[in-house]
Amino acid sequence: MAEMTGRALLVTGGGRGIGAATARLAARQGWAVAVNYTANSLAADEVVRAIRAEGGTAMSVQADVADEEQVLAMFAKIDAKLGRLHGLVNNAGVVDVTARVDEMSVARWRRMFDINVIGSMLCAREAVRRMSTKHGGEGGSIVNLSSAASRLGSAGQYVDYAAAKGAIDAFTIGLAREVGGEGVRVNAVRPGLIETEIHASGGLPDRVRDLQHQVPMQRGGRAEEVAQAIVWLLSDAASYTTMTLMDVSGGR
């Protein structure tokens, strides 16, 4: 894989799981990484320490991606410390407890879409303003985190999460068409059953183990396996790849 040369990358939700694995791998490939977090500064700082210990460049930066003012402040800090952005990984996201649609509240839906969809769109907007040649940028790459749930629907568990990730798929396609001629590539990765903390936050800590029999490869995936796909899409090795929805799901 072609190594980067200190170009700035923002990974939202970079303190744990897929985000943390992506931040560490990208740093090894030469990216200068901004590790975003909402509340868990200790986790983000640990990722930054690990990157710096390996000789990489990293900073942690707080922002709730659903809050426009916080997103603007975050991008301003990255501009000041790391320079013009060349990469964005829209990884920040949430699930909720298992429920049927007829048991869900509007408050739950608003949180789901505010963070998973509007947050990604806000960050992508600010990234395009920095990357696009239309705005004086040098180009760049955006990778959105979707989910195999966008294809499967997650019936009986979290249809609202699946719907939000379906919106991410559509957003990826539309934005890729919009900025493809301006040096900006936009792709999405759709992980399947991956061993991360997000399952416990939805009340199903054993979800991967319980469902891995449905996966053709007969196992859950690791965050590092998803990170490999993300970092490839960010890199110059994927220079002719845009508007792609890449499944990293063991065949599920």
The CA distance from 27 to 160, in Å, is 33
At position 129, the amino acid (one-letter code) is R
User: Between helices 223-234 and 17-28, what is the axis angle to 10°?
Assistant: 50
Which amino acid is present at 135? Answer: H
Q: Pick the catalytic residue: 37, 158, 161, 240? A: 161
Q: How far is CA 10 from CA 32, 74, 199, 200, 226, in A?
A: 9, 10, 24, 25, 17
Cross-strand pairs, 246: 189
Whats the size of the chain, residue-wise? 252
Q: What are the residues facing 247 on neighbouring strands? A: 190
Catalytic (active site) residue 161: yes
Angle of helix 119-131 relative to helix 68-82, nearest 10 degrees, comes to 40
Nearest C-alpha neighbor of 142 from the set 156, 159, 128: 128
Residue that the structure tokens 């891995």 belong to: 212
- How would you classify the pairing of strands 8-11 and 85-90? parallel
Distance of CA 156 to the CA centre of its chain: 25
φ, ψ for residue 189 (rounded to 5)?
-110, 135
The residues annotated as belonging to the active site are 161
